[in-house]
Chain A
Amino acid sequence: MKRMAALVVALAVLGVTVWLVWPSGPGVQGQEQRITVVDGPNDDQKVDLDTTFFPPAQGGKAPAVLLAHGFGSAKESMRNQARQLAEAGYAVLTWSARGFGKSTGQIALNSPDYEVKDVKQLIDWLAKRPEVLLDKEGDPRVGMAGGSYGGAISLMTAAYDDRVDAIVPQITWYDLADALFPNGTGQGPESGVFKKAWAGFFFGRGGIAQGSGLQGGLEALNRQVQPLSPEEARCGRFLPEICDVYQQIASTGKATPEAVALLRKSSPVSVQGRIKAPTLLIQGQRDSLFTLAQADGNARAVAGPVQVMWFDGGHDGGNGEVDYLYEKTLGWLDRWLKQQPQPEGPAFSVTRDGGRDPGTRQRIRLHPETAQYPGLSGTMTTPVELRGPEQNIVNPPGGTPPSISTVPGVGGLLGGGGSGGGGQSNLSVSLDMPGQSAVFESAPLTRPLQLTGGASAKIRVYGKGEVTLFGKLYDVSDSLQPPNLPSGQISPVKVTIPEGADSVEATITLPVVDYLFPAGHRMRLALTTTDMGFSTPAEPASYRVALADPALAVPSVKGLSEPPPGLAWWVWAMPLAAIVVAAAVLATGRTRRARAGTASDVPLEITGLTKAYSNGFKAVDDLSFRVEQGQVLGLLGPNGAGKTTTMRMMMGLIHPDGGTIRIFGEEVTPGAPVLSRLGSFVEGPGFLPHLSGRENLDLYWAATGRPASEAHFDEALEIAGLGNAINRAVRTYSQGMRQRLAIAQAMLGLPDLLVLDEPTNGLDPPQIREMREVLKRYAQDGRTVIVSSHLLAEVEQTCSHVVVMHRGKLVSEGPVARLLATSNGHGPRLEDVFLDLIGEK
């Protein structure tokens, strides 16, 4: 039974293990292709694109998905996602954009004249593939997805090619000019602050360290650097026009109208209202390159159905939520390409810290959502009063030392960003240099305040000419913890103080974030003159900064909450099922009821009793005998004869395999009421060692549930003969004391049948003698005593009758005197008779 169970468990474990480690079948194999496309403003430039086509795993005709890679990487970076989508039943095409990887051509920043034309021809190519489902001749069912640079090409292609049926652009731009020259006053990139660190990082990836993602990680750093030609060193693989523009803006830190025009040509801002394909915009909350505001622009530019997601990730790192994003991307594609019925999705969802999982206590992320996209100013605004005097701040000469908010590329290296890996890099590196910041703080919040969108404040700046400031909204908890800059986001501001005036008022929009300011914390608006990531004026200057309006407008989105998950079905079903099963286990496991017996005055009648142990050894084999009232029966046999086993069966401790034991006519089963007429002492005493002898007897009797008046404690205590020791804890008793106490316990209530197993073991000779008398007296009152022993002399002197057992079988029974008489010549001693009987002589 036990072995069987162990075997089953072992097999189950083995099976599960094998199932878990069994190698999955070979994945979808990609087909490498070089596809030649023609592009350029005059459609006269041939470019060879390096592509990989993944046919749908299930075969047949399937919708196609174009997966576009990020800036600085190549088609290889999309391989895993492409395989996953091919497994999910899509024909997937990945390609290295012109100027990247093994594709020829130069980088034109997703220009409609270059990259967009390339992709249109890739769609033409897809339309000819037998694996691709067509909407009509030359028009395949096709979706596009990709992050950053790949997200922008998705948007641009959807604007220029109506054949695109759904897109999922991630962490990408709406207006490249605005992304590189942000201005929190809303006056546009021409007067914006140059995001020099990101721009340089971005440009620097354009052709030199190929084959690695924008978040390429350590791999890119470990690669051997190839020597470059002067032109390569200057422009990498950029188109010369773009290279020239970049060099100009990077050296001046100012956006020229030409630069803005060029950047906007490659931005969805130039194609507003032309994107008809259903669009899932996934933007990172930890992204100082393409902020959440960029996704807001795209959401308004798209004419088709649109959904916006703010996830925990972006170019600065964060979790990345790879699995969640894939699931959402696939859901969007399934909905619009396969036209699978999907639940009406929310228009807007945000990833939030969801506290800890009730089970794992790990941090979890929640994805609350709303049916309407609320934009950046929320559905409601809470004014928070800020306080602080007018403050003098300086712009240090040369703009150093700069304050720090985020360091471009660091998040990507540490956390893997949106390109993979689940690393958390919530590294806060924010640092404000002394003397450079004007600070305005709120009183401690009385209730938690959820900021979702861009808060705005009205400030007044005193000084001269152009003033560059960086607006930051800190969460200040107490003096022990450093203030927290949510997601490391800042809002650069450039204001111009008109000639003749000494100051200017400006409404500034602070960074767009989703952040919960807990109760008791303060909100701090800091305006800083420098930031490491931006280009700031080199001339030293000092300004005065004050609040024009103490109210900081904090937008929140009402109803942005995760629908509570319904109670899982098993929460109520499982316990109910378990209780039913438990009841069944109990009901079916009833022990056999005793067959009704007729009360008789035969103290003990054993018929055909058999007990075999699990190893097959028969401890008792077809034993039958009968004890009459008033007898003192000796149960005699060598060790292992089955005496104790028989006695245990009499007490209902062991289930016999066959035969019956009847006590006063009633069949013995475990706990049979007739056992109350049986007093027993088998295989040594059993007491609670921490209780005294008296307490043991009292509690034992109480456990029988019978009234104390029936117990005859005095007689029992007399038999025990323990004197004052009766009040000591049993653990202090000697073996003989316990033995006597146990016999006294067996005699409690003066049972009609007394069964004693080796009662004289451990007693000294006077006590043995006394015990002998006690037993004889006990039987004289019409009660019956059964004594097992291997001491023959003992039986001879105490017992009137004897049952001899050997190897589980009855050898002889009868009055002691008769047994002695049958001795065939070996002498009149019971010992001789006994040894004769068991055949040892």
Chain B
Amino acid sequence: MSTTYAANKTLPLRVEIVRQFKRRRTMVMFGLMLALPWILVIAFKVGPQSNNPGNALRISDLASAGALNFAAFSLSVSVFLLVVAVALFCGDTVASEANWSSLRYLLAAPVPRDRLLRQKLIVAMGYAAAAVISMPLMALLAGTLAFGWDDIQVPGTGETIPAMDALPRFAIVIGYALVCQLVTGALAFLLSTMTDSPLGAVGGAVGLWIVCQILQAVEALGVIREFLPTFWNNAWLDAIAPEPDYSGMAKGVAISITYAALLIALSFRRFRHKDVVS
């Protein structure tokens, strides 16, 4: 008699982390995240120095000014990669189990459905967060080694903010980048519970991101665009300014949390009632 069974001990986070960690796509994704800053460093070292004739200093013109500038630049150009990483970790997690047929054995183990989703969501979000964080941190390291540790120069006016003042703001920026990806992650997760195809879930989330990007270029939509989940993705640039402006980021956080809460609630509700036939 198995009296030792307890629902709240099933699928411990440690087990799920190990299950996911040894996968090739986890390794590849982290490898890519950690390699990207170095690729950029090489690009800046090899490529000819650009002499932008315009008046405004762009973030790319300042990328080699110092570690913080380089990290900010890396973050600004790798938005799509972050989206893919988050969509991958969150979209693949349930769908791939369904695809391998291992989902039904976990459910019959039994891991209660809510708990299975919760544990998987925590681990997937954890991996996604680690991927998102690792990139700018590696960029800081790569930037320090390649361009030295220096005060951050602000795009546009070229003013400098002391590195020690900028560092906490940089933490906010990374945090904001994480929150922004919540929507992508939540949507990928919802799709993941709906399909047996991991690629479908990942692609669906990335696809929605692309559609939002396209829609937000349509100026005729006016204020409606403010409610697109991707609209405020770049608002963190305002934190790296002589006088940081957090209003855009506040809106971005509000939008992200709104969509993410609804999507995650929906994914739990759907999964509870789902007939698992995979």
Contact = CB atoms under 8 A, between A and B. Distances in A.
Interface of A: 355-361, 448, 477, 480-482, 484, 516, 518-520, 564-565, 567-568, 570-572, 574-575, 577-579, 581-583, 585-586, 589-591, 648, 651-655, 670-673, 675-678, 680, 682-691, 695, 699-700, 702-707, 710, 745, 749, 751-752
A676 B110 contact: yes
Contacts, number: 219
29 contacts: A358-B245, A359-B232, A477-B55, A477-B158, A484-B55, A518-B157, A518-B159, A519-B158, A571-B254, A578-B262, A579-B261, A581-B261, A581-B262, A582-B261, A589-B273, A590-B272, A652-B110, A653-B275, A671-B115, A673-B110, A676-B5, A678-B108, A695-B22, A702-B14, A703-B106, A705-B5, A705-B7, A705-B9, A705-B12
Contacts of B64: none
A655 B8 CA distance: 22
B178 interface: no
B5 A704 contact: yes
Contacts of A572: 254
B268 A589 contact: yes
Given A477-B55, A581-B262, A586 B157 contact: no
A581 B265 contact: yes
A675 B110 CA distance: 6
B115 to A, nearest CB: 8
Contact of A691 (B1, B2, B22, B268): B22
Interface in B225-247: 225-226, 231-232, 234-235, 237-238, 241-242, 245, 247
Contacts of A749: 2
Contact of B23 (A648, A677, A690, A703): A690
Contact of B109 (A581, A687, A689, A700): A700
B158 A703 contact: no
A408 B64 CA distance: 41
A358 B235 contact: yes
Nearest to A361: B234
A572 to B, nearest CB: 7
Given A582-B261, A652-B110, A670-B107, A684 B5 contact: no
Nearest to B236: A358
Interface string B1-36: 110111111111011101100111000000000000
B265 A583 contact: yes
Contacts of A359: 216, 225-226, 231-232, 234-235, 248, 251
B112 interface: yes
A652 B103 CA distance: 12
Contacts of B101: 683-686
Counting chain A CB atoms within 10 Å of each CB, the highest count among B22, B250, B264, B275 belongs to: B275
Nearest to A518: B157
B153 to A, nearest CB: 9
Contacts of A671: 7, 107, 110-115
B47 interface: no
A703 B53 contact: no
A385 to B, nearest CB: 21
Contacts of A520: 158-159
Contacts of B277: 648, 653-654
A564 B247 contact: yes
A648 to B, nearest CB: 7
A355 B115 CA distance: 47
A675 B272 contact: no
Contacts of B276: 648, 653-654
Query: Which of A448, A582, A673 has most chain B Cβ within 10 Å?
Result: A582
Given A358-B249, A574-B255, A686-B103, A675 B109 contact: yes
Contacts of B6: 705
Contact of B107 (A582, A590, A653): A653
A575 B254 contact: yes
B269 interface: yes
A686 B196 CA distance: 13
Contacts of B167: none
A677 B265 contact: no
